[in-house]
Amino acid sequence: MLVVVLYPRGHGSRNPGSAQIAAQTTVLDRAATWVAGHVGHNILVACDALTCAALAQHGFPAADLTVLQSTAPDPYGTQVVVATASVRSQFGAQLASVFAPEVLASFGSGAGRIDIRVIAPDGPVTFRAALAADVLARKAAGAQLLTRSDVSASAGARSALVAGDVDARLLTVLAFVASQQPVAIVSFGGAAPGASPGVPLRVADLAASDSAAGQAGAGYEHSLLTLLHSEVDLYAPTNIATVRLASGLRAVQITFAAPSPLGLLG
Could you read off the pLDDT of 26-79 as tens digits, one per residue? 999 999 999 999 999 999 999 999 999 999 999 999 999 999 999 999 999 999
**What pLDDT score was predicted for residue 159?**
98
Please report whether residue 17 resides in a domain: no
Is the domain of 222 the same as that of 157?
Answer: yes
Domain that holds residue 46: 24-121
Does residue 247 have a pLDDT over 70? yes
Is the domain of 207 the same as that of 250?
Answer: yes
Is the domain of 107 the same as that of 192?
Answer: no
Q: What is the CB-side half-sphere exposure of residue 217 using CA atoms within 13 A? A: 8
DSSP classification of residue 55: H
The tens digit of pLDDT for each residue in 220-244 reads 888 888 889 887 677 889 999 999 9
Please report whether residue 263 resides in a domain: no
Does residue 12 have a pLDDT over 70? no
Compute the distance between CA of residue 216 and CA of residue 30 in angstroms, rounded to an integer.
41
Question: Percent of the chain having pLDDT more than 90?
Answer: 77
Q: What separation in angstroms does the CA of 227 have from each of 5, 182, 234?
A: 74, 12, 15
Q: Is 77 left (phi over 0), alpha (psi -120 to 50) or beta?
A: left
Q: Structurally, how many domains does the chain consist of? A: 2
In angstroms, how far is the first alpha carbon of the chain from the final one? Answer: 85
Is the domain of 198 the same as that of 249?
Answer: yes
Is the domain of 138 the same as that of 99?
Answer: no
**What pLDDT score was predicted for residue 17?**
64
Helices and strands: H and E segment counts in the chain: 8, 10
Q: Is 258 exposed, middle or buried (0-12, 13-18, 19+ CB in 10 A)?
A: buried
Q: Which of 121, 152, 176 is the last residue of a domain?
A: 121
The pTM for the full model equals 0.87
Which pLDDT band, with edges at 50, 70 and 90, does 129 fall under?
very high
Is the domain of 194 the same as that of 228?
Answer: yes
Please report whether residue 224 resides in a domain: yes
The tens digit of pLDDT for each residue in 144-172 reads 999 999 999 999 999 999 999 999 999 99
- Mean pLDDT over each residue of the chain, to the nearest integer: 90
Q: What angle do CA 227, 231, 234 make, to 5 degrees?
A: 155
Is the domain of 116 the same as that of 137?
Answer: no
Please report whether residue 12 resides in a domain: no
Is the domain of 81 the same as that of 110?
Answer: yes
**What pLDDT score was predicted for residue 213?**
45
